[in-house]
Amino acid sequence: MTTDPGIEAVGAYAPRFRVSAEVFEEAWGQFHAAGVESKAVPDADEDALTMGYEAAARALDAADRSGADVAFLAFASTTPPLAEEDLTARLGGMLSVPGAATRHVFTGSTRAGTRALDAALSAGPWENGATDDEDESVGLVVAADCPRGDPDSTEDHAAGAGAAGFVLSGSGNAAVRRRAEYATEYPGTRFRRSGSQSVEGLGATGYERQAFTETLAGAVEQLAVHGSEIDAAAVQAPNGKLPYRAAGALGVDTEAIQRCATVHELGDTAAASVPLGLASALAAGAERILAASFGSGAGADALLVEHDGTGGVAANTALDDAEAVSYAEYLRKRGELTTGPPEGGGAYVSVPSWRRTLDQRHRLLAGRCPECGSLNFPPEGACNSCKILVEEYDEVELTGEGTVEAATVISQGGAPPEFAEQQAQSGDFAVAVVALEGPEDSSASVPAQVVAAEPETVEIGDAVETTMRRIYTQEGVTRYGFKVRPQGTN
């Protein structure tokens, strides 16, 4: 493998719900996020990890790769679901990344996404090859974020959500030709206190603008590239105005920034901001891209990405499927209007017991009955078809696509206690029995919650696909697993 891997494929994802600037202005009498027209809102069962999975899966699909090919996995976010836990273990499990793959987590700064990309590029070739053929080993970089602030703050008015994924390999058509970083002391430009979920700022506009512009310019200047040579510029976007204010200092025109800006539709996506812009630029066919990220404190990264012109970068993005929500629905999905999970009454499943089911919940492993050949999910106990007690099933991986066989709607008061908080935040949801496809026209019937669809519209015969979402949290540990959604939706 080459010692200079490039970007082979990109994936991008944003939650389908959007809250508009007009809705915020109606609620508060004003809107504090300049240049933001709408912002993406995670559903109650979405977080940075599930969004990261979506972007990573799309990037791997675009590259026609599988998780088994990944030898280096990096995950970046300022809003990891847990303050202390190596989330690449869970992300890698969801994607079937080998246990021997090198893994890194980057957090604590909105620079985290470009820090992860820089680390992956510096680490290649990947010595811990994911397959027997070293040439097949790839790097996978994922940046996902969903910042939030106090409801009446400037930070919250801008706060959005989204994720980007990059597959890196020796055959990647887009190479990072130059890299630079720069840091200087500017405390207090943006921060989140220990134990808090809310991003804060001092509101010192001139000070924050100076920190942003000076630090980014310090990194970009080292690239020694003329702005007229840049097709698109992915610049950190805490709002929809600040990147353009820095255009002159960065030596690029505002049109180059606008060509790949996602802040206007998705809001401030923090550590995913620049990765999303870079992914969008590559998906659109830009050949020379400046990626410039900023992290408060303050530090900046600058990368010059060049396409070699031998073919486009494969892309699978899902940023446009939007559904408007009201301000009350926005607060509800954030949990601002709910009281939290009920006390007791939920089905208790210990973490060790849950872990034993991860092959089914994350990797869709079913079992083929050695007696009658039918598929069983989960693969344990007596066969559903021939009723014979099976000691060991033959392992079969389901495809993740299937058809609804039966469906019902769970309304308020009808959800099991462990799902009551999700129901309170998201409203009614559908549960279905789905025939998930296996090899050779076989299938296994599995129960699953349906997302990304109005519950009443789910019907027998609907084509669905699996995705990864939060199931519920118990004893402080969030359980993740597959749910289904209509094929082709977010």
111 with 293: CB under 8 angstroms? yes
| C-alpha triplet 351, 356, 358: angle, nearest 5° | 95
pLDDT, the chain, mean: 91
CA dist., res. 98 & res. 69, Å (int): 8
Question: Can you give the pLDDT at residue 425?
Answer: 84
Question: Can you give the pLDDT at residue 128?
Answer: 46
Decide: helix, strand or coil at residue 110: coil
Joined together, the tokens standing for residue 51 give 């969004």
Question: Can you give the pLDDT at residue 440?
Answer: 86
Distinct helix (H) and strand (E) counts, the chain: 15, 21
Joined together, the tokens standing for residue 310 give 């031998």
CA dist., res. 367 & res. 290, Å (int): 49
What DSSP letter does each residue of 316-368 carry, written as one string?
A: EEE----EE--HHHHHHHHTTTS--SPSS-SPP--HHHHHTTHHHHHH-EEEE
Burial class (CB in 10 A: 0-12, 13-18, 19+), 488: exposed
379 with 352: CB under 8 angstroms? no
- The pairing of strands 443-450 and 429-437 is antiparallel
The number of angstroms, rounded, from the C-alpha of 398 to the middle of its chain's C-alpha atoms is: 23
What DSSP letter does each residue of 265-325 carry, written as one string?
A: HH-B-GGGHHHHHHHHHHHTT-SEEEEEEEETEEEEEEEEEEE-SSSPPEEEEE----EE-
Q: Which residues, in sequence order, are CB contacts of 465 under 8 Å at separation 6+?
A: 400, 401, 402, 484, 485, 486, 487
The number of angstroms, rounded, from the C-alpha of 393 to the middle of its chain's C-alpha atoms is: 34
Residue 206: HSE in the Cβ half-sphere, 13 Å Cα cutoff: 0
Tens digit of each residue's pLDDT (9 = 90 or more) over 184-205? 999 988 999 998 999 998 887 8
Judged against a pLDDT cut of 80, whether residue 133 lies above it is answered with no
Instruction: Provide the pLDDT confidence category of residue 468 given band limits of 50, 70 and 90.
Output: very high
The number of angstroms, rounded, from the C-alpha of 433 to the middle of its chain's C-alpha atoms is: 27
Instruction: Provide the pLDDT confidence category of residue 342 given band limits of 50, 70 and 90.
Output: low
Type of residue found at 443: S
Closest CA to 362 of 48, 75, 53, 14: 53
CA dist., res. 146 & res. 123, Å (int): 28
CA dist., res. 145 & res. 408, Å (int): 33
Percent of the chain topping pLDDT 70: 94
Judged against a pLDDT cut of 60, whether residue 135 lies above it is answered with no
Question: Can you give the pLDDT at residue 476?
Answer: 87
Helix (H) or strand (E) holding 58: helix 48-62
Question: Can you give the pLDDT at residue 222?
Answer: 96
Q: Please name the residue that has the structure tokens 């289904």.
A: 484
pTM of the model: 0.93
Cα 398 to Cα 42, 187, 357, 444, 489, distances in angstroms: 27, 50, 15, 8, 20
Judged against a pLDDT cut of 90, whether residue 14 lies above it is answered with yes
CA dist., res. 485 & res. 450, Å (int): 5
368 with 378: CB under 8 angstroms? no
Q: Which residues in 162-248 belong to E strands, given as ranges?
A: 162-169, 174-186, 232-235
Helix (H) or strand (E) holding 211: helix 205-220
Question: Can you give the pLDDT at residue 344?
Answer: 57
Tens digit of each residue's pLDDT (9 = 90 or more) over 111-130? 999 999 999 988 876 544 44
Tens digit of each residue's pLDDT (9 = 90 or more) over 19-65? 999 999 999 998 999 999 999 999 999 999 999 999 999 999 999 99
Question: Can you give the pLDDT at residue 346?
Answer: 64
199 with 190: CB under 8 angstroms? yes
CA dist., res. 224 & res. 202, Å (int): 33
Question: Can you give the pLDDT at residue 210?
Answer: 94
Question: Can you give the pLDDT at residue 426?
Answer: 84
Judged against a pLDDT cut of 60, whether residue 345 lies above it is answered with no
Instruction: Provide the pLDDT confidence category of residue 132 given band limits of 50, 70 and 90.
Output: very low
431 with 444: CB under 8 angstroms? no
Tens digit of each residue's pLDDT (9 = 90 or more) over 294-308? 999 999 999 999 987
What are the structural domains of the chain? 6-334 (3.40.47.10), 351-486 (no CATH)
Closest CA to 144 of 14, 263, 304: 14
Question: Can you give the pLDDT at residue 307?
Answer: 86
Lowest mean pLDDT among 69-83, 153-167, 186-200, 261-275: 186-200
CA dist., res. 451 & res. 486, Å (int): 8
